[in-house]
Amino acid sequence: MHPGWRDACLKVLLRGKNVQLTLLGDPCLVRPWQSSRGFHATATSRAPKVKAPAMEDFPSDLIRNFSIIAHIDHGKSTLADRLLELTGTIQKLRKGEQQMLDKLKVERERGITVKAQTASMFHNYMSKRYMLNLIDTPGHVDFSWEVARSLAACQGALLLVDASQGVQAQTLSVFHVAKERGLVIVPILNKGSKIDLPAADPELMAAQMHSTFGVDTSEILQISAKTGKGVESVLEAIIDRIPAPRSAMAEGDKRLKAFLFDSSYDRYRGVISLLSVQSGVMQRGDKIQSIATSKRYEVTDLGIMHPEEVPTTSLREGQVGWMVCSMKDSGEAHVGDTLHRVGETIEPMPGLKATKAMVYAGIFPVDSNDFVKLEESIKRLTLTDRSVTVSRESSSALGQGCRLGFLGTLHMDVFRQRLEDEYDANVIITAPTVPYKVIYKDREVYVSNPTNFPDVTNPTSQVKEVQEPVVNASIIVPEQFFGDMMDLLYNHRAEDMDFRYINVSAKDSRLILTAVMPLSEIVTDFFDKLKSRSSGFASFDYEDAGYKASNLAKIVFLVHNKPVDALALIVHRSAEQAVARTWVKKLQKVIPRQLFEVPIQAAVGKKIIARETLSAIRSDVTAGIYGGHYERKLKHIENQKESKKRMKRFGSVDLPQEAFFDILRS
């Protein structure tokens, strides 16, 4: 037997033919294995067993709070793994093992980071022991809120650029966010992290970083996150270049001030808050108060992420950790809130800029009886993702549901998958739409649900103008794909198109395209077309640019002359014919056939712009008639025709929710 299992406690649960083996003990010494007889033993973590560190040994001058920022798939999580290994926080990961900080199932399946994770490391340098707090951030534009709130708890950031791909659109966007917050930037060039891409050219990419970000090429660290080469220099740069948190206690201010930047929910302990202590000391039993809600709590437990939860006796200024108090309602944990000790008066932190939902969609349970369970699941999940907005809505076809606002379509799809993975929810999501501004003669109304969009073709609607949200889009692409990108932008109603070169060389000439685009054109299949036309080399980023007047219309789909509100769409008038024809053909395939003909129509106002007919189920009523005059059979056929006419007048088509699931999934 492995010596690490010496103190393990084995508990065997016999349930019919299934035998489950649960190991309780030191998880780092348990090796994952599975036999053909159904015994399972899985390591929950590769973190070595540690006892709680003495937090008073780490004053603010021995603390470094930093984040890793980069474009998606440039090696952020891989670099985080190497840092955790070098500092002895985790054991060296074997080949094929997943990234340590990508804990969600959706992250491991998709190979992307969607949730910022925190890990505290301890490193000896120049005869001193430092506490390094890492906050790993996502790289996709749809998770910019995760990046923004993570940077709010940091004093520096590692700017990672892949040497095979160079500066990408999201890299540029996140760099400006970090600079606006005053963070110290440590530029890093990641070589050899993607073996399936063309050979890296570090000199060219270093020059590109110099021209784009204005960094000195001598300050750029060249590493390989995959092999670990040069990562030691990153640890040194974190300590030497990134400043320590400001010490308020050194200035005589010992009042407790903590910044809440993330939260999660545990069914047994309630709300778990991640916070950055700005000043003072937080201990178990302290009575604290929220500035946002003015509610009071008692600290029952606290600690650091190492990278799993490790309880400590206190959290001191400059340190980042987790805290559990008597907070049971998930709505009480406000990201960006400032916590202080009861009886003390402090100035609140600036907080975080409120997020603005860019894409809306309705979520309904497949079984209408599961609405209460679904609503509670959404409430729990939004505690870990405060960028999602939630409101109730009802549909005549789908029943009770929720209207959710997301930062993008990938954000929406990841949220749906997390609902299914973590809460076993079975849901239907309506087609994504963007918030429109409808200007009446006496007021302005924002409409995110197509059902509430007015009929602009009706002269009595009193609608003066309809505006749609637009964005400033940026595309970084090699020069050879310039023509394809311009054509793609033109086909998606882009305006004010412009371009400039970010580097020119014989090996690689790259340029950045900028344009003003309607947001509704991006939330469909724009990103897929972008990658297809550029062979995967183009990168895309966008930011809000307000609203602009547009010629829009609402398409209503009628099944057997009755409108289906859950399928309503808002489209530009130039695309209404193509969209309507595509959707009526989809409906024709998924709606079950009836005993009578069912017309499927798409209408704008009172005008039908597309139609398909679902043919009736036909049965041979003369099959059992033998002999006699032909008029005998003709009489039965005529009776059938009359019956079908009556059915068509009085019959109704009940659309099963499986049909909605099929059409909205596609």
What's the predicted TM-score (pTM) here? 0.70
C-alpha distances in Å from residue 546, one per residue of 408, 518, 540, 614: 16, 10, 19, 43
- Domain parsing of the chain, residue ranges: 3-41, 55-241, 249-341, 359-432, 437-550, 553-665
Average pLDDT of the residues in 398-410: 85
**Residue 30 banded pLDDT, cuts 50, 70, 90:** very low
Q: How confident is the model at residue 282 (pLDDT cuts 50, 70, 90)?
A: very high
Confidence of residue 620 (pLDDT cuts 50, 70, 90): low
Under CATH, domain 249-341 is a member of which superfamily?
Translation factors (2.40.30.10)
Q: Is residue 651 predicted with pLDDT exceeding 80? A: no
For residues 641 and 654, what is the distance between their CA atoms, to the nearest angstrom?
22
pLDDT of residue 515: 93
| Higher pLDDT pick, 190 / 115 | 190
Of 546, 520, 515, 332, which Cα lies nearest the Cα of 408? 520
At 454 the pLDDT is: 87
Higher per-residue confidence, 443 vs 333 = 443
pLDDT at 624 over 70: no
- Does residue 566 have a known ligand-binding role? no
72 belongs to an annotated ligand binding site: yes
437-550 domain in CATH 1.20.58.1290?
Answer: no
Whole-number average pLDDT of the chain: 78
Domains 437-550 and 553-665 alike in fold = yes
Query: What is the second-level CATH architecture of the domain 359-432?
Result: 2-Layer Sandwich (3.30)
Q: Which amino acid is at 41?
A: A
- Judge whether residue 594 has pLDDT over 70: yes
Tokens 């939004």 belong to which residue? 382
Q: Which two tokens stand for residue 369?
A: 């009886």
pLDDT, one tens digit per residue, over 151-169 is 878 899 999 888 877 788 7
What are all long-range contacts of 45-50, with beta carbons under 8 Å and residues at least 24 apart? 45/90, 45/307, 45/308, 46/90, 46/91, 46/93, 46/97, 46/100, 47/89, 47/90, 47/91, 47/306, 47/307, 47/308, 48/88, 48/90, 48/91, 50/306, 50/310
Query: Which CATH fold would you assign to the domain 553-665?
Result: Alpha-Beta Plaits (3.30.70)
pLDDT at residue 609 in the model: 92
Q: Which residues contact 3 (CB under 8 A, 6 or more apart)?
A: none
- Beta pairing, strands 320-325 & 221-223: unpaired
140 annotated among ligand-binding-site residues: yes
Both tokens assigned to 386:
């405060």
What pLDDT digit, counting tens, does each position of 534-549 carry?
Answer: 887 888 888 888 899 9
pLDDT > 70: percent of the chain: 77
Q: What is the pLDDT of residue 442?
A: 84
Q: How many C-beta atoms lie closer than 10 Å to residue 660's C-beta? A: 22
Is 136 annotated as contributing to ligand binding? yes
Angle at 389 between CA 386 and CA 394, to 5 degrees: 145
- To the question of whether residue 210 is assigned a binding role by annotation, the answer is no
Q: Which of the four CATH numbers 3.30.450.20, 3.40.50.300, 3.40.1190.20, 3.30.420.40 does domain 55-241 have? A: 3.40.50.300
Q: Is the pLDDT of residue 251 over 50?
A: yes
The answer to whether the peptide bond before residue 307 is cis (omega within 30 degrees of 0) is yes
Mean pLDDT over 481-485 rounds to: 90
Instruction: Tell me which of 257-271, 583-597, 614-628 is least confident.
Output: 614-628
Of residues 602 and 178, more confidence is placed in 602
3-state DSSP of 515-533: EEEEHHHHCCCHHHHHHHH
What local confidence, expressed as pLDDT, does residue 648 receive?
58
pLDDT at 178: 85
75 is in an annotated binding site: yes
- Which among 258, 318, 305, 301 has a CA at the least distance from the CA of 121? 305
Residue 73 labeled ligand binder: yes
CA-nearest of 141, 103, 106, 143 to 119 is: 103
Whether residue 505 is predicted with pLDDT greater than 70 in this model: the reply is no
Q: Over range 94-99, report the average pLDDT.
A: 56
Is 74 known to sit in a ligand binding site? Answer: yes
pLDDT higher than threshold 80 for residue 329: no
pLDDT at 213 (0 to 100): 83
Cα 347 from Cα 291, distance rounded (Å)? 9
Predicted local distance difference test score (pLDDT) of residue 547: 92
Q: How far apart are CA 427 and CA 370, in angstroms?
A: 10
Of 55-69, 294-308, 517-531, 638-652, least confident by mean pLDDT is: 638-652
Angle, to 10 degrees, between the axis of helix 76-86 and the axis of helix 231-241?
90
Tell whether the model's pLDDT for residue 199 goes beyond 60: no
The mean pLDDT of 479-496, rounded to a whole number, is 90
Which of the pair, 385 or 546, is modelled with greater confidence? 546
Of the candidate ranges 40-54, 266-280, 413-427, the one whose mean pLDDT is the lowest: 40-54
Higher pLDDT, 167 or 101: 167
629 is in an annotated binding site: no
pLDDT of residue 350 exceeding 50, the answer is yes
Q: Predicted confidence band at 487 (pLDDT cuts at 50, 70, 90)? A: very high
Q: At residue 371, does pLDDT exceed 60? A: yes
Confidence grade of residue 602 (pLDDT, cut at 50, 70, 90)? very high
Q: Is the pLDDT of residue 96 over 60?
A: no
pLDDT score of 240 more than 90: yes
What element of type H or E holds 574? none
Residue 71 marked ligand-binding: yes
620 a known binding residue? no
Please tell me the predicted confidence (pLDDT) of residue 14.
Answer: 33
Residue 20 has pLDDT above 60, yes or no: no
**What mean pLDDT do residues 240-249 have?**
83
